[in-house]
Chain A
Amino acid sequence: MLERIEKAKDQMTAACEAMGRPINIMEVCGTHTVSIFRNGIRSVLPAGLRLLSGPGCPVCVTDQSYIDTVLRLADRDDLLIATYGDMIRVPGRGGSLETKRAKAAVRVVLSSEDALQLARDNPSKVVVFIAVGFETTAPATAVVVKEAAADSLENFCIFSGHKLVVPAMRALLSDKNNNIDAFLCPGHVSAIIGYGAFGEIVDNFGRPCVVAGFEALQIMEGLAEICRQLSCGEPELKSVYTAVVTRDGNTAAQKIIDECFEAVDGYWRGLGKIKKSTLRLRDEYGRFDAVQRFGLHEIPAEDTTGCRCGEVLCGLIEPPQCSLFERACSPEMPVGACMVSSEGACAAWFKYGRKRECRK
């Protein structure tokens, strides 16, 4: 393995020298972000190569208005909120699900199936499943919506915050201030959507897109491949995660997403409104849609905390450049979503990157 690591390092160094300018590569996957830190990958990269942690963590990209709406739902006596654990500590207007949990009915679930079971076990309450995540978790949400429909389970609905990765990448590159030279594409999402889905980024924006797995070696080889493409000026679509990711992806999972959901415009933390970037239940499943059921309106919330999560997610700043980082904002007392999730860029920097990496 070490030989291949050394080879990847050499390729990156050579490419950086050939480019004669700094290279910025963005990863759009929280698992990549954490693996990069845990393996100390930044510390072995050539000086001119910078990694940006983009919008790859589901909790981080969820807009504040969505969080505030969830908190309002948690105040209702007739509802039972079922959520993934990561979401409960995200602060919003009037606290977080964690602080509400003392008096409100909030349950942490490990899967969408658990949420559905909760509805079966609690017929007197309406269970609202806080459905967040990218294309990786959307199929599991679709499955339970279909099950609920088949069983006519009327006390179950979902509040969809599901997001699509490619529209976000498109939005990032459409901003003329962006500094992104290439994307290290997410392994898990690609397993669902297929690496072919990133073709439009390569074709329309001329940016290399390389899918990698989560081992240090995979990431290093993915980065080396990107550097190679950049230095010879030939952006390509490629996967070095060949054991898991195919060009077409998991078509069965894509089909079930498509059967239940349609892509609509939606708000992202830091990126604002992005066209056709959020999944909404199709009308035929409307009775399982919390938005329709409770007449919810997503109003973009103004962030008054001074938190710069948005700029972090766009790769414009690194977490230590936010004045709250480490001072007012820490994993114990998070101000922004990127510090809450273990896959958030701020949490990863806080945990593994302080001292050495932020004082460079």
Chain B
Amino acid sequence: MTKRRTDRILLAHGGGGRLTDQLIRRHILPQLKNDALAELGDSAKLDLSSASVCFTTDSYVVKPLFFNGGDIGKLAVCGTINDLAVAGSRPVALTLSLIIEEGFEFALLAKILSGIGEAARQSDAQIVAGDTKTVESGAAEGIFINTAGVGVRLPGVDLGFEKITPGDRIIINGTIGDHGMAIISQREGMEFQSRLRSDCAALAGLTCRLLESTNGIRFMRDPTRGGLAAALNEIAAGTGLAVEISETDVPVDPTVRAAAEMLGFDPLTIANEGKFVAVVSPESAEQCLNICKSHPLGGNAAIIGTVVQASDVPTVELMTEIGGRRIVPMPYGRELPRIC
């Protein structure tokens, strides 16, 4: 059935005139409802509780737009929230830029905006400013999204590579590779795709709880593109120390493991969108683990390894199931394009 023209985005919806106004007032504002945005001013005015903030931005071009466990809208909010969260801040405000391809269905846009609104509300962050552009058919694949975000740094929290010392433990809040495998299995049309679900989630609730409960946290990072392998290699490179992890301790969902095996991927290098890696003091490791485990986003959390003095060059090493050792290299990644 062909859709009527009015069911779809037209180039004129990005022209700044009456249609743009309609798009914003009828389709976008109701989904995101908040006072700051409703003013439709040229800039949002923010009254923050502290002058010390974290500020970040990210663009999202994921394909497919809708996947098991989320969609590009949820991803765009959670991704930016998580970047703020792992830097030790409480996310407060986001901006939202939509680049929409001519002919994109309003029904799909509504679904995406609903995901955006929900993810923002769940994190107590508001979408305070935005922009909409339209491009000719063929110039974008449906929709691209950019978000930027501001978070207020938690008092007394100062995370960084320089805080990490040998003996520190490494914690992850759950299974790895879920997002990347959900996307790729859907793209490849694999038969068990329905059992693979992206972990896409906003982590600020859990990270704030951790940071407010203990001062043992030295550093956090969200292992998105390049997966756990990239995050740990960044830690090794940033500290000049080595990282040792145990294969049997790294949580991997059996379906993800099987799918990765079939496609020739290493779960360590597959993207996550609802995970963080925390480097914590040895004394606080158990407490951090317990806090994670008592949170809905940390049920499968585990202590997976230790930071050690590097014998020569800083590397990440995996203690394998059979008692062997091997390097976990920095992925040189071209295997999975457009996963976020």
Contact = CB atoms under 8 A, between A and B. Distances in A.
Contacts of B317: 356
Contact of A40 (B312, B324, B332): B324
Contacts of A43: 324-326
Contacts of B315: 355
B320 interface: yes
Nearest to A343: B264
9 contacts: A5-B322, A38-B266, A39-B324, A40-B324, A41-B324, A43-B325, A43-B326, A44-B324, A216-B320
A353 B329 CA distance: 9
Max count, chain B CB within 10 A of own CB: residue among A332, A353, A354, A356: A356
Interface in A25-45: 37-44
- Is the contact region of chain B dominated by helix, strand, or loop, or is it mixed? loop
A40 to B, nearest CB: 3
Interface of B: 264, 266, 312-313, 315, 317-327, 329, 332
A342 interface: yes
Nearest to B313: A355
B329 A220 contact: no
The 7 closest A-B pairs by CB, nearest first: A40-B324, A40-B326, A40-B320, A43-B324, A44-B324, A43-B325, A5-B322
Contacts of B264: 342
A42 B325 CA distance: 9
Contact of B324 (A42, A331, A342): A42
A57 to B, nearest CB: 13
A2 interface: yes
A5 B321 CA distance: 10
Nearest to B319: A40
B322 A41 contact: yes
Given A331-B332, A342-B264, A355-B313, A220 B327 contact: no
B165 to A, nearest CB: 22
Given A342-B264, A355-B315, A217 B322 contact: yes
B312 A39 contact: no
Contacts of A5: 322-323
Contacts, number: 58
Nearest to A45: B324
A355 B327 contact: yes
The CB with the most chain B CB atoms within 10 A, among A2, A38, A44, is that of A38
A352 interface: yes
A43 B322 CA distance: 10
Given A216-B320, A331-B332, A40 B325 contact: yes
Contacts of B313: 355
Contact of B327 (A2, A39, A332, A352): A352
Most buried by A among B312, B318, B326, B332: B326
Contacts of B327: 351-356
A220 B332 contact: no
Interface in A321-360: 331-332, 342, 350-356
A127 to B, nearest CB: 22
Contacts of B318: 40
Contacts of A39: 320-322, 324, 326
Most buried by A among B322, B326, B329: B322
A160 to B, nearest CB: 24
Contacts of A1: 321-322
Nearest to B318: A40
Contacts of A350: 329
Given A40-B320, A351-B327, A351-B329, 7 more contacts: A40-B318, A40-B325, A43-B325, A216-B320, A355-B312, A355-B313, A355-B315
Given A38-B266, A342-B264, A352 B323 contact: no
B325 A352 contact: no
B266 A220 contact: no
Contacts of A217: 322
Contacts of A355: 312-313, 315, 327
A342 B332 CA distance: 12
Nearest to A217: B322
Given A38-B266, A342-B264, A355-B313, A44 B323 contact: yes
A44 B322 contact: yes
Contact of A38 (B319, B323, B326, B332): B326
A320 to B, nearest CB: 13
Contacts of B329: 350-352, 354
B326 A352 contact: yes
Contacts of A44: 322-324
B250 to A, nearest CB: 13
Contacts of B320: 38-40, 216
A354 B323 CA distance: 19
A2 B324 contact: no
Contacts of A342: 264
A355 to B, nearest CB: 6
A96 to B, nearest CB: 14
Nearest to A342: B264
A2 B321 CA distance: 8
A351 B268 CA distance: 13
A3 to B, nearest CB: 11
Nearest to B331: A351
Nearest to A219: B322
Contacts of A353: 326-327
Contact of A332 (B321, B325, B326, B332): B332
B320 to A, nearest CB: 4
B319 to A, nearest CB: 8
A39 to B, nearest CB: 5
